[in-house]
Amino acid sequence: MSIPYKSKLFLYFFAVFALFTAIVLFYQQIREKRYKQALIETKMDIYTHIIAEKENEKEQQEVLPANLRITIINNGGKVLYDNQADSVPILENHFDRPEIQKAKTANVGSDIRLSESLDVPFLYYARKTADGYVRVALPYNVETQLLLKTDKTFLVLSLSLFLLSILFLWLIARQFGLDVERLKTDIIRQQQARAALKTELTSSIAHELRTPVSAIRGYMETLIDPEIPDEKRIAFINRAHLASIRLSELLQDVSLLTKMEESGRLFTKERIDLYEMAEKVREEFEESLHANSVKIENLIPEGSFMYGNSMLIYSIFRNLIENAINYAGKWITITIEITKSDDKCYYLTVSDTGNGIPEAYLPRIFERFFRVNDGRSREDGGSGLGLAIVHHAVLYHEGEVTAENKSGGGLQINFSLKKA
């Protein structure tokens, strides 16, 4: 049984928070205990000074605690005096005691342990003197332990904050889990839509390929007949050639459209002059423009630069102009202009003075293989993907594209291109 993502996230952060809180509390408890022990040791250090100064016994009794154990040790570790070891006839050498060893190197030393001579736990504190060592000790009983015991206020506060944090963490993990689930659902839905789109596109491509392939096959089968007249032979060869051109253009458009959808990030960007790009497209269609009595007005200001993919920008102008030449009619004017610009984008239009299209079809003209008049693109040699390529190329440059009929007649394509 798999654990939900939000539960995994909550458990992960719970473990991190719990570990962090435990470390902080442990460190604080150790620090506070050491601090309180240092306070007691400061008092005990004062006691050793008083004893080392050898003041009279009466004054010492007035200052020193009644339960304070006092031990005088020479440099060799022999016990010269111990006020609580009268019942012990002979005391062992104390040179190896931990507090004495510390005092030997650092002048002072302390330790908490069981007394070997009295069999009672003590808090020991020793100071190095010229003649040896002065050691004092307090019984490590309940009273001393209470003095060293850490305050519980910080512990309670920390645990309260920890529980409050866990509550907030649970709420955040719950919301994050819901967001992840929604995102997962959206991704699955997008993948399903994409798969359906690919299936539809594959079916449409197969349908579109069938026409030129069937035409080429039919013409070739006819040309096999040796008795066909030369005039028909030349006509069929020309028709087969036109069908092969359409097939090649269709494959190129499909390849470009697929590349934009699947690996758009692979397109390189460079500095582009929009005026020069539109001029290159106008020069490419010079013969078609003359044959159809079509005029192009390039009103883009020279030096209108942007950063983008030159092939895609070229395909935008090329497809829009080719679409206008093929379907808007003869004796028209195609106008290319920048209507406005700001710090982020250029806003362009490509319009014609031709026939326009029915309003009901305007929202669909950027769909793949959509035709206002079914079969028209086949007759004119179009792939049916030109405006779909325009749509994707504009989106690649973080712009938007729309279509509308002009009030005076003709179709106008509005699109924006991000400058950088």
Helix, strand, or coil (residue 161): helix
Helix, strand, or coil (residue 111): strand
Q: How confident is the model at residue 99 (pLDDT cuts 50, 70, 90)?
A: very high
DSSP code for 301: P
pLDDT at residue 377, rounded to an integer: 46
Say yes or no to pLDDT of 338 above 90.
yes
pLDDT at residue 278, rounded to an integer: 95
Say yes or no to pLDDT of 383 above 70.
no
pLDDT digits (tens, 9 = 90+) for 34-67: 787 788 888 888 888 888 776 556 666 667 888 8
In whole angstroms, give the CA distance from residue 399 to residue 346.
Answer: 9
pLDDT at residue 270, rounded to an integer: 92
Q: What percent of the chain has pLDDT over 90?
A: 28
Say yes or no to pLDDT of 246 above 80.
no
In whole angstroms, give the CA distance from residue 313 to residue 107.
Answer: 85
In whole angstroms, give the CA distance from residue 86 to residue 245.
Answer: 120
- Of 1-5, 43-47, 346-350, 411-415, where does mean pLDDT reach its minimum? 1-5
DSSP code for 339: E
pLDDT at residue 12, rounded to an integer: 77
CB proximity list for 170: less than 8 A, separation 6 or greater: 10
What order of strands is seen across the sheet that includes strand 333-341?
Answer: 295-298, 333-341, 345-352, 411-418, 401-405
Structure token pair of residue 393: 């190329």
CB proximity list for 68: less than 8 A, separation 6 or greater: 47, 136, 137, 138
267 vs 81, more confident: 81
Say yes or no to pLDDT of 153 above 70.
yes
Q: How confident is the model at residue 204 (pLDDT cuts 50, 70, 90)?
A: low
In whole angstroms, give the CA distance from residue 127 to residue 78.
Answer: 15
Say yes or no to pLDDT of 400 above 90.
yes
pLDDT at residue 202, rounded to an integer: 67
pLDDT digits (tens, 9 = 90+) for 9-23: 777 777 887 888 888
Say yes or no to pLDDT of 388 above 90.
no
In whole angstroms, give the CA distance from residue 191 to residue 322.
Answer: 34
Average pLDDT, the chain: 82
In whole angstroms, give the CA distance from residue 365 to residue 373.
Answer: 11
Say yes or no to pLDDT of 339 above 50.
yes
- Our CA angle for 249, 209, 214, nearest 5°, is 115
* Phi, psi of 375, deg, nearest 5: 95, -15
Quote the distance between the C-alpha of residue 89 and its chain's center: 78
Nearest to 122 by CA among 35, 57, 40: 40
pLDDT at residue 331, rounded to an integer: 93
- Domains of the chain listed by start with CATH number: 7-148 (3.30.450.20), 174-261 (1.10.287.130), 267-418 (3.30.565.10)
Contact 256, 389 (CB under 8 A): yes
- Of 155-169, 202-216, 219-233, 337-351, where does mean pLDDT reach its minimum? 202-216
CB proximity list for 388: less than 8 A, separation 6 or greater: 257, 366, 367, 368, 369
Say yes or no to pLDDT of 378 above 50.
no
345 vs 157, more confident: 345
Say yes or no to pLDDT of 376 above 50.
no
DSSP code for 229: -
Residue with tokens 């016990």: 79
In whole angstroms, give the CA distance from residue 57 to residue 210.
Answer: 121
49 vs 206, more confident: 49
Say yes or no to pLDDT of 213 above 70.
yes
Question: CA-CA distances (angstroms) from residue 297 to 118, 239, 281?
Answer: 113, 33, 12
Task: For residues 111-136, give the mean pLDDT.
Answer: 88
Q: What percent of the chain has pLDDT over 70?
A: 85
pLDDT at residue 128, rounded to an integer: 93
Nearest to 139 by CA among 124, 126, 154: 124
Model's pTM, two decimal places? 0.51
